[in-house]
């Protein structure tokens, strides 16, 4: 996941610190609310986002159905008590695949694909055009294997989009951010 407009010039370093603290608090809360133990997940801080690897024995539908509304609610709780510059809006990508670990962290084609999805112009445009706090994109594989088979994940709420980012050309599925909670009036 990636914080939208993290390095906006209106955000000072103290604002960015508040955003990062709020992000981790929201993630911990959201994972707990959807029934996934945050402590069991592998995490890498990305400065303006977080790479989270969920154990393979966790049902994907548990994430696709439970995490977005829980995360949107936790973000809203944070945003209600912070200044505009410290509020959070996120882009979240769902994908699955093989991952390798080395002395420096995790790497794989699946991770590269997930990060390309996060950078997709269609996802950024969906968040920018919305009052929502969370934009969700799922890889074509994740949508077809997990989301479309689980009514609780709201498969009918997703729209298919063609993604072209760097060397990646693929189809993905975007759920409109407005179906979650609202954001402040400034674009943070």
The pTM assigned to this predicted structure is 0.91
Torsion of CA 165, 169, 170, 171, to 10 degrees: 70
Residue 94's CB is within 10 A of a number of other CB atoms, namely: 25
Q: What are the two backbone dihedrals, phi and then psi, of residue 174, each rounded to the nearest 5 degrees?
A: -115, 130
User: What distance in Å separates the CA atoms of residue 138 and residue 93, rounded to the nearest whole number?
Assistant: 6
For residue 115, pLDDT beyond 60: yes
Angle at 116 between CA 140 and CA 134, to 5 degrees: 75
Structural domains of the chain ordered from first start: 2-179 (3.30.70.1230)
What 3-state DSSP class applies to 44? strand
Identify the helix (H) or strand (E) that includes residue 142: helix 140-142
Per-residue pLDDT tens for 176-186?
Answer: 886 554 444 44
Establish how many alpha carbons lie within 13 A of residue 4's alpha carbon, considering only the half-sphere containing its beta carbon: 28
Cα–Cα separations (whole angstroms), residue 177 to 67, 69, 90, 137 = 14, 11, 10, 10
Element (H, E) at 169: strand 168-175
By mean pLDDT, which of 16-30, 81-95, 97-111, 174-188 is the weakest?
A: 174-188
Q: Provide the pLDDT confidence category of residue 188 given band limits of 50, 70 and 90.
A: very low
- Nearest by Cα to 2 from 112, 93, 126: 93
Average pLDDT, the chain: 92
CA distances from 167 to 23, 52, 112, 116, 121 (A): 30, 23, 10, 9, 14
Q: What does each C-alpha distance from 11 to 8, 86, 88, 122, 132 come to in angstroms?
A: 6, 7, 11, 24, 20
Stretch 159-165: mean pLDDT: 94
Cite the DSSP H helix spans in 42-108.
60-80
Question: Does residue 170 have a pLDDT over 90?
Answer: yes
Residues 161, 80: Cα–Cα separation, whole Å: 32
């Amino acid at each position: 996941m990636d914080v939208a407009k993290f390095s906006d010039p209106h955000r000072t370093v103290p604002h960015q610190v508040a955003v990062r603290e709020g992000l981790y608090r929201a993630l911990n809360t959201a994972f707990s609310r959807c029934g996934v133990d945050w402590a069991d997940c592998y995490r890498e801080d990305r400065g303006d986002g977080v790479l989270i690897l969920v154990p393979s024995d966790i049902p994907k539908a548990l994430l696709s159905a439970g995490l977005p509304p829980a995360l949107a609610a936790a973000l809203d709780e944070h945003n209600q008590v912070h200044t505009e510059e410290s509020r959070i809006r996120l882009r979240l990508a769902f994908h699955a695949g093989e991952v390798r670990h080395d002395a420096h962290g995790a790497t794989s084609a699946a991770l590269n694909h997930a990060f390309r999805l996060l950078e997709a112009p269609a996802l950024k445009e969906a968040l920018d055009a919305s009052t929502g706090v969370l934009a969700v994109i799922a890889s074509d594989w994740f949508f077809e294997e997990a989301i479309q088979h689980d009514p609780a994940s709201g498969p009918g709420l997703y729209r298919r989009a063609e993604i072209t980012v760097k060397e990646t050309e693929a189809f993905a599925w975007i759920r409109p951010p407005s179906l979650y909670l609202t954001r402040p009036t400034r674009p943070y």
